Structure 1
């Protein structure tokens, strides 16, 4: 969603042109799904704000899928989550640890005011993350800090955990989640046998291209897949409309 549909100020990239194209495709019978690293509530808010009907919603990089009134989620292994949290605390690394459940973000303290804002604020301040792991459906760890402090944690997870993957989503953020999580797998499970047109801007979107009839990359990032490169989502949607609607 970020960098593809929404800009840094949470406005639709391409403005009315993008919204109009999405509406045309929906009116023609296409089903629109949105995949994001954010929580589901931000997809709901984005849809309401811009008049878009997201019947299928994929959040937290594919870990949480909502279709109608049905929710499916891939949760972190509790034993590995506890071991990872112990390793982080014992390391003494100056990093911020956040934890996501299916519906909420849990923090030890409030975020810096300059941190990107959620469209809906679901955060809960919680001092004991071990208790959280025991009692809640934990989906994801978000670790924020310097790359030199995050890299050893990623290496530790990759070397010692069999049920958890470590993804450097930026030079200052590391995300830990189930190895069964990917946007591509989520799309495949929601749309078996369907023609998928996928639009993304970053490496964590590339899993969608693996299952798409056509993949569109709206950035200059290197990509191992054969994709159509477009300046923005608006141009990608125009190409999709020409292919689907004629």
Structure 2
């Protein structure tokens, strides 16, 4: 494999690198390792916390120069130092706490290092590779006074989500983003946080031009990366139709992505 000088490959985790059963295709791994051996730069970009990225990096034997977590709200370098962090402002957190407490949704709150829950979870519900959860019964009070929230993750019904979205937009305007990430989950985070903004930040640090960057994703949050890269790929058999429409190319696997990239 021939890689142009300082080519960066930014890759989503779930559904792209990591399959639905939690495994990674050996063929995809070999392509990534070959890319890195030939001078390419590899960065994982995910909605998961940083600890899960480190876990995957250890499993695949590839350590990125940077790690983008929480859908672009947090970036760490390979030493673990935080180089980018977009939080929800304290005054906005107070408003969010008041709004969300009125609805029948389960709210979880992320910081850089942990996920905070209002009550314990069933062990079978733990989807993280590394469980960083901490239970706080008075979660909203705790989130307002004791931490810097990065993301409010809410689980419930779509009808409630629309009401929540409307009320948040009416009270805090465009300072907060509200994104439904699945039929049962709604994420609330700073409008300064996105995977696209994170990719742009890393590109500036590495002094890369747009045509030196490749991005792979499968969900709506990944689309924000595409304006900042030279070639974008919708990857995975379950890739969202919106992602397929927005991407330059469509591939079922990372292996197929690299075959298209080299032709």
1:116 Cα deviation after fit:
5.1
5+ residue gaps in structure 1? none
* Structure 1 segment 58-77 matched on structure 2, within 5 A: 58-69=68-79, 70-71=81-82, 72-77=84-89
Count how many residue pairs are aligned between Structure 1 and Structure 2: 238
Structure 1 distance, partners of 2:181, 2:125, is 15
1:78 Cα deviation after fit:
1.2
1:176 Cα deviation after fit:
0.4
1:68 Cα deviation after fit:
2.9
Alignment of 1:10 onto 2:28: no
Residue of structure 2 aligned with 1:117, choices 111, 127, 133: 127
Residue of structure 2 aligned with 1:222, choices 230, 242, 259: 242
1:137 aligns to what?
148
2:256 aligns to what?
235
SS at match of 1:32: strand
Structure 1 distance, partners of 2:247, 2:225, is 12
Check whether the contact 2:29–2:60 (CA below 8 A) recurs between aligned residues: yes
Check whether the contact 2:136–2:142 (CA below 8 A) recurs between aligned residues: no
Alignment of 1:179 onto 2:191: yes
Q: Structure 1, residues 101-139: CA drift from partner, whole Å, max 9, x if none?
A: 000000011224443521101000012222233221210
Check whether the contact 2:97–2:144 (CA below 8 A) recurs between aligned residues: no
Alignment of 1:199 onto 2:216: yes
Structure 2 distance, partners of 1:200, 1:226, is 9
RMSD: 1.5
1:185 Cα deviation after fit:
0.9
Check whether the contact 1:81–1:133 (CA below 8 A) recurs between aligned residues: yes
1:171 Cα deviation after fit:
1.3
Check whether the contact 1:21–1:238 (CA below 8 A) recurs between aligned residues: no
Runs of 4+ that moved beyond 6 A = none
Structure 2 distance, partners of 1:20, 1:143, is 37
SS at match of 2:41: coil
Alignment of 1:213 onto 2:246: no
SS at match of 1:53: coil
Structure 2 distance, partners of 1:19, 1:156, is 44
- Label 1:149 to 1:113 Cα distance change in 2 as closer, same or farther (>3 A): farther
5+ residue gaps in structure 2? 1-12
Check whether the contact 2:233–2:247 (CA below 8 A) recurs between aligned residues: no
SS at match of 2:104: coil
